[in-house]
Amino acid sequence: MGRWRSRILFGLIVYFGGFATAIYYLAPVSQDAADRTARQKFSLNWPGKADISSEKCKAVAGQFGDKMRNAVTFAEEQAKRVAELYKTTQACADETSGTRAAAD
């Protein structure tokens, strides 16, 4: 009985997390902040102090974007295949039930 509460809570957390992400993404940015972050380099606090430039971040983001587009394309293709399979199965079931009804 208490399982529906956890589902509702989880759904609300995911919903509002997505809503907050959309607000953050769509919020306007001043030109000074955009220029400053584009030129900014920062170092991480671990041995070796790797420098990560904005160009490297953009390259990694581009690769990630490509992989996400591939995943979405794959998911769309699989959804189309499942829809066709469902239609075929449903048509076979309708034909079978129709012939059974005619035989009776």
Per-residue pLDDT at 52? 62
Per-residue pLDDT at 39? 52
Query: What is the average pLDDT across 61-83?
Result: 92
* Rounded Cα gap, residues 54 and 35, in angstroms: 11
Looking at the predicted structure, is the pLDDT value of residue 43 above 90? Answer: no
Looking at the predicted structure, is the pLDDT value of residue 79 above 60? Answer: yes
Task: List pLDDT tens digits, range 10-40.
Answer: 999 999 999 999 888 888 777 766 666 555 5
Per-residue pLDDT at 47? 52
Between 24 and 53, where is the model more confident? 24
* Rounded Cα gap, residues 63 and 57, in angstroms: 10
